[in-house]
Amino acid sequence: MRRHRFRRWLSLHRRHEIRDPIRELFLFRKRLWLTGLAMLLIFGVLLGRVFYLQVIAHQQYQTQAENNRIAIVPVGPSRGTISDRNGTTLAQSFSAYTLELTPSRIDRLETTLAQLGKLIEITPRDLRRFRRAMDESRNFDSLPLRTKLSDEEVARFAVYKYRFPGVDIRARLYRQYPLGETASHVLGHIGRINDRDIEQLTRSGSLLNYKGTDHIGKTGVELSYEETLHGIVGFDEVEVDALGRAVRSLTRVPPIPGDHLQLTIDLRLQQLAEQALGESKGAVVAMDPNNGEILAMASTPGYDPNLFVEGIDVANWDRLNTSPDKPLLNRALRGAYPPGSTVKPFLALGALVSGKRTPEQAISDPGYFDLPTGAGRAHRFRDQKTDGHGRVDMHKSIVVSCDTYYYVLASETDIDDTARFMSQFGFGQKTGIDLEGEAIGVLPSRAWKRERFSGSRYREEHRRWYLGDSVSAGIGQGYSNATPLQLAYATATLANDGVSYRPHLVKRIIDGTTGQTKEVLPEETRRLDLKPAHLAAIKKAMVDVNREGTAARIFKDAPYTSAGKTGTAQVFSLRGERYIEEQVKHHLRDHAWFIAYAPAEKPVIAVAIIVENGGFGARAAGPIARALFDYYLTGAQTATIPKPDGDSEGWEE
Amino acid sequence: MSIRDHFSTVWLRFTRHIDGPLMAITLLLLAVGAVVLFSAVLPDTGRFVQQMKSIGVALVVMWIVANIPPHRLAQIALPLYLVGVLLLVAVAFFGVTVNNSQRWLAIGGFRFQPSELLKLAVPLLLAWYFQKVEARINFGNFLIAMLLIALPAWLIKRQPDLGTALLVAASGFYVLYLARLSWKTIFLMVATAVPLIWLLAHDYQKQRVLAFLNPAADPLRSGYHTLQSQIAIGSGGLTGKGWMQGTQAHLDFLPERHTDFIFAVYSEEFGLVGNIVLLMLYTALLLRALMIASHASSLFGRLLAGAITLMLFTYVTVNMGMVSGILPVVGVPLPFISYGGTAMLSLFICIGILMSIQTHRKLVST
């Protein structure tokens, strides 16, 4: 019964009904046309939907379609070139094809890499570099796998391109340093933009300008003139398909190329300096005292900046970064060494200016200076010449580089007065050269010492200034520290009678578009009030250093007059014992200094040279100055740099 | 008899079973289809030529079917159904697996999808059955009808191809509906079917439904297709971007643009005006088919013509609804417009059946 009721409820109970065909047909048609009406209603809904999409929401979808279709592709400007003062190219940009992968669009990266390897030669080094780049970037970036593809490789890949979604060939701008290691520290290098650069660019508000750029200056001129060299980004408005491939270009705002730099560096002089330094560690700075132009700035060992452009591989990085020779260090700019005897002419000038000494005033040098330490005891400061120089006046003190003379002078002069005078020659401060990361060295004074030992692990006795500190500083030792650049600047200031110019590396800026040149004008930094008589006394002594003094042999038969001063920076304190070069390990040997300018009458070049562990200044550093002067003043190339004899006899200071 | 008379006699005999209005509407739809397909297949015009060939074959088949009187069609209903079910069983055992579903039978290098056949065989069989029992829907008939629908639907569902299974079930259900199944039963069936379908649905299918409910939440995955097609339709605006000018279509943003999503290409290039024209053509087609069903001389003819009308309506609605984003994504082509030979063939068989029902009625009544 229950089932029957269910059937009746479902109207499935008409088995025995007598059927009326007319009524049946009427009921069928009723249902049929009711259905027709429902269909029309539903079509109405469809029409309403389409009306909504195409009329009411049209604007929104129009925008979305345009956003789909149009991509703004930034176009990086071409980076300006860098040349030496005579126009020889030192850094240039060129365009070449790269094979690039977008990891986010590649399903199986390893398989793709393996298959690409069969088509185009990919070295393990390329792979390592690629993986490193992948770690450093977000994975929707396009990353270079192989650079500088040949035309043949491009053609070969083009045939099989369809097999490699997410792999593209692109024309990219490259940086090349055609001379390799030459002037590497001056030029510096560019490298791929990393997160820190992005942070920096964001802060300076120039991130947008780097949208199409992969590289940025990391060191050297490439870094300090980044803004000038880079240029202004352009934009391509392109139509893209669903895979992001550009179909055609719509509008184009071309990039404005970066400006070219012409350096003050004289490439020949630079190469000469690097060759002269040879295998030694050291630095040479040569500048024009009349305007501050840096003519050569060498630091050895150097490195090949080309290695850094596309991201340096691990092996090369480790080699450069962990080498005890520190090839990445720009010694000319950042190497601070005790200036040694090279400070003597400046200290002597200070004594003349302050009236502490007259040129004629002389001491008797027994070969040492005893500084009383109280209770009848004394600390003995030794001269290089153990039996003393005898009677020594100011002229002789410079020519033979008598230490005792300066021990006495220092013991009678307040260190703060000395510091005040020396700071006028740029010691203890930045020269203001157009390179980043300049070291300031140390110009010792009471204030400096107090500051230096202000840490809580030091006590008052560490912070106090002792007369012994003054005596050490009196021969450029002790706390004294200066960079080759600072010494070159000080020498140039002296050579130019107290008028100094800011050292700079860029001579002119050439507009990347119009080719118009803008000269970098010399910028006077100081004009010291010095008496001609005082200057003449010091300069005469320095001329005689090269004529009859410690550097006489080096400048024998030079067709010009030059002035110089040798110096030796102690690496290792022998605690009063005699320094015998052959008995000291090479890396503990003294550093050789030489400062010089020429021609003495009207200087056009001033140099500061250091050769690490070179021993006596005259022997290792002096010949380099001779070679530079010969070339720069006479155009002659010294066939062989005069090498003094092995023994120190006649070369001592 | 002059040659002219002779010719006109041949012409009359040739077109005796062709329904003029239906033919005209169909040809207009084909013309629209050809225009949009040409744009949609670019740059592969070979597909366009292929489609034209398929249409040619389909027209011949339509003519043949139109010339078969409805009672002969009723006679082949049961054998066709049985063959269809057997083929489905064969698919389960020897079928070719593509994309994880076993839907095809390979016969001599020719791939054939038996489920397509059932879309026609099921309404044919049910129309025949209810003609036989004079549309008496008692409990036993109802149960038998349900079984006849459920068997192929279940076989197709386990291929798995839930979409086609639903369409086959719907085609059978339309006959039941037209045989005046009570509204209460219809309501009850719908009420049980909806949760059942959700239960049977695969995860990816549920995903599609969820993506349909909120396409913007996941624009690059499941909802990508409909989002892009809505952008295509919406950006078409009132008059469209012009033939072959659709950026969504030609820059590959539209998926399946020459098959299931061709409506988006059409909408983008011809705009609202084009859509109104298309919907008017479909309305005309459906009205003519309803008229044929309404005037059919036999119960078999009425039920079959009505069911075919509803199936055509279903295809159009499901496709447009899916492409315009008001229905979830189901692989249903747009009748007469989408690329595809098999679909075109079954469509023209349907048109042929409608013509047969219409034209043989006249002969019977005179």
Q: Could you tell me what percentage of chain A is helix, strand and coil, using 3-state DSSP and rounding each to the nearest 5?
A: 40, 20, 40
Instruction: Please state, in angstroms and as integers, the Cα–Cα distance from residue A557 to each residue in A50, A83, A349, A548, A621, following that order.
Output: 99, 34, 29, 12, 18
Of A14, A307, A205, which is closest to residue B180 (Cα–Cα)? Answer: A14
Contact B251 A15 (CB under 8 A): no
Q: Quickly list DSSP for B5-38.
A: HHHHHHHHHHTTT--HHHHHHHHHHHHHHHHHHH
Query: What residues contact B84, with CB distance under 8 A and at least 6 apart?
Result: B114, B117, B118, B121, B152
Tokens 């983008």 identify what position?
B268
Cβ-contact A319, A350 below 8 angstroms: no
Over residues A480-488, the mean pLDDT reads 94
> For residue A201, what is the DSSP state?
H
Chain A contact present for B313, CB below 8 A = yes
Over 70: is that where the pLDDT of B351 sits? yes
Which one has a higher pLDDT value, A278 or A237? A278
- Buried residues in B260-278 as b, exposed as e (16+ CB within 10 A): bbbbbbbbbbbbbebbeeb
Exposed / middle / buried, residue B11 (Cβ in 10 Å: 0-12, 13-18, 19+): exposed
Task: Please report the pLDDT score of residue B287 as a whole number.
Answer: 96
Q: What are phi and psi of B55, to 5 degrees?
A: -65, -40
What is the CATH number that goes with domain A270-634? 3.40.710.10
Q: What is the pLDDT of residue B97?
A: 75
A204 part of the active site: no
A192-201, A442-451, B258-267: segment of lowest average pLDDT: A192-201
- Could you tell me if A439 lies within 8 Å of chain B, comparing CB atoms? no
pLDDT at site A8: 61
Asked whether this chain's domains A71-263 and A270-634 adopt the same fold, the reply is no
- Residue extents of the structural domains in chain A: 71-263, 270-634
Which pLDDT score is estimated for B110?
64
- Between residues A574 and B345, the one the model is more confident about: B345
Tell me the ipTM for this assembly. Answer: 0.92
pLDDT of residue A648: 38
- Cβ-based neighbours of A245, under 8 Å, separated by 6 or more: none
- Touching check for B163 and chain A: CB below 8 Å? no
pLDDT class of A11 with cuts at 50, 70, 90: low
Q: At what angle do helices B341-365 and B70-94 cross, to 10 degrees?
A: 160
Provide the pLDDT for residue A569. 83
Q: Determine the residue among A32, A41, A42, A241 to mutate to test chain B binding: the one whose Cβ has the most chain B Cβ atoms within 10 Å.
A: A32
Out of B252, B293, B320, closest to residue A242 by CB: B252
Query: What distance lies between CA B340 and its chain's CA centroid?
Result: 12
- Distance, in Å, from the CA atom of B254 to the CA atom of A594, rounded to the nearest integer, reads 76
Q: What is the pLDDT of residues A521-540, one digit of tens each?
A: 999 999 999 999 999 999 99
Q: Which two tokens stand for residue A207?
A: 């991130």
CA A483 distance to own-chain centroid: 16
Write down the residue that tokens 């069969």 correspond to.
Answer: A118
Residue A82 bridge partners (DSSP): A91, A261
Kindly state whether A247 is in contact with chain B, defined as any CB-CB distance less than 8 angstroms.
Answer: yes
Q: Specify the pLDDT at position B366.
A: 38
Q: Give the number of C-alpha atoms closer than 13 A to the C-alpha of residue B328, restricted to the C-beta side.
A: 15
Distance in angstroms (rounded) separating the CA atoms of residues A343 and A567: 8
Q: At residue A36, does pLDDT exceed 80?
A: yes
B247 touches chain A (CB under 8 A): yes
Tell me the per-residue pLDDT of A437-474, one tens digit each, with 9 for 90 and over: 999 999 999 999 999 998 889 888 889 998 889 998 99
Q: Is A556 exposed, middle or buried (0-12, 13-18, 19+ CB in 10 A)?
A: exposed
pLDDT for the residue B99: 66
Which residues on neighbouring strands pair with residue A593, listed in sequence order? A567, A610
| A70 and A248 Cβ atoms separated by less than 8 Å | no
Q: Do B234 and A53 touch (CB under 8 A)?
A: yes
Chain center to CA of B287: 16
d(CA B257, CA A538): 91
Q: For residue B279, give the nearest of A14, A46, A242 by CB distance.
A: A46
pLDDT band at residue B134 using 50, 70 and 90 as cut-offs? confident
Query: Distance between alpha carbon B255 and the CA centroid of its chain, in Å?
Result: 21
Determine the average pLDDT of the residues in A620-635. Answer: 90
Residues of A (47-66) whose Cβ lies below 8 Å from B: 47, 49-51, 53-55, 57-58, 60-62, 64-66
Choosing from A78, A83, A93, A341, the catalytic residue is A341
- Please determine, for residue B338, whether its predicted confidence score (pLDDT) is greater than 70: yes
Has residue A637 got a pLDDT over 80?
A: no
Average pLDDT rounded to a whole number, residues A115-142: 78
Per-residue pLDDT of B215-256, as tens digits, reads 555 544 456 777 888 999 999 999 999 898 888 888 888 888
* Helix pair angle (B224-236, A58-69), 10° resolution: 110
Q: What is the pLDDT of residue B217?
A: 57
| DSSP reduced 3-state for B282 | helix
How close does chain A come to B245, measured CA to CA in Å?
12
Counting one residue from A and one from B, how many pairs have CB atoms under 8 Å apart? Answer: 145
Bridge partners of A370, per DSSP, are A380
Asked if the C-beta of B315 comes within 8 angstroms of chain A's C-beta atoms, the answer is no
Fold of A71-263: Penicillin-binding protein 2a (Domain 2) (3.90.1310)
Mean pLDDT, chain B, rounded, equals 87
Cross-chain CB nearest to B231 (options A39, A47, A65): A65
pLDDT grade, residue A573 (50/70/90)? low
**Cβ pair A280, A612 in contact under 8 A:** yes
The runs of H, that is alpha helices, within chain B are 3-14, 20-41, 45-66, 70-94, 114-132, 139-157, 162-178, 183-200, 203-213, 224-236, 247-250, 262-295, 299-323, 341-365
Which is it for the CA torsion B289, B290, B292, B296, positive or negative? positive
Least confident of A114-118, B47-51, B72-76: A114-118
Separation of alpha carbons B235 and B251, rounded Å: 14
C-alpha distance across the termini of chain B, in Å: 25
The pLDDT value recorded for residue A574 is 44
Q: What is the pLDDT of residue A81?
A: 94
Measured distance between the N- and C-terminal CA atoms of chain A, rounded to whole angstroms = 132
Say how far apart CA A375 and CA B39 lie, in whole Å.
Answer: 110
Query: Residue A284: which H helix or E strand, with range?
Result: strand A282-287
In the predicted model, is pLDDT for residue A652 greater than 70? Answer: no
Pick from A39, A68, A140, A241 the residue to mutate for testing the B interface (most B CBs within 10 Å). A39
Distance CA B123, CA B287 (A): 20
User: In the prediction, which pLDDT does A216 show?
Assistant: 92
Amino acid, single-letter form, for residue A509:
I
Query: What single DSSP character describes residue A298?
Result: E
**Residue B178: which of A10, A28, A64 has the nearest Cβ?**
A28
Provide the residue type at A308 as one letter. Answer: F
The answer to whether the beta carbons of residues A103 and A133 sit under 8 Å apart is no
Are A491 and A485 contacting, i.e. CB atoms less than 8 angstroms apart? no
| A20 → chain B, closest CA residue | B134
With H, G, I as helix, E, B as strand and everything else as coil, classify residue A215.
Answer: strand
Reported as a single tens digit per residue, the pLDDT across B61-117 is: 999 999 999 999 999 999 999 999 999 998 888 877 776 667 777 766 666 788 888
pLDDT at A102 over 90: no
Q: Nearest Cα to B235, choosing from B255, B211, B264?
A: B264
Predicted pLDDT at A632: 92
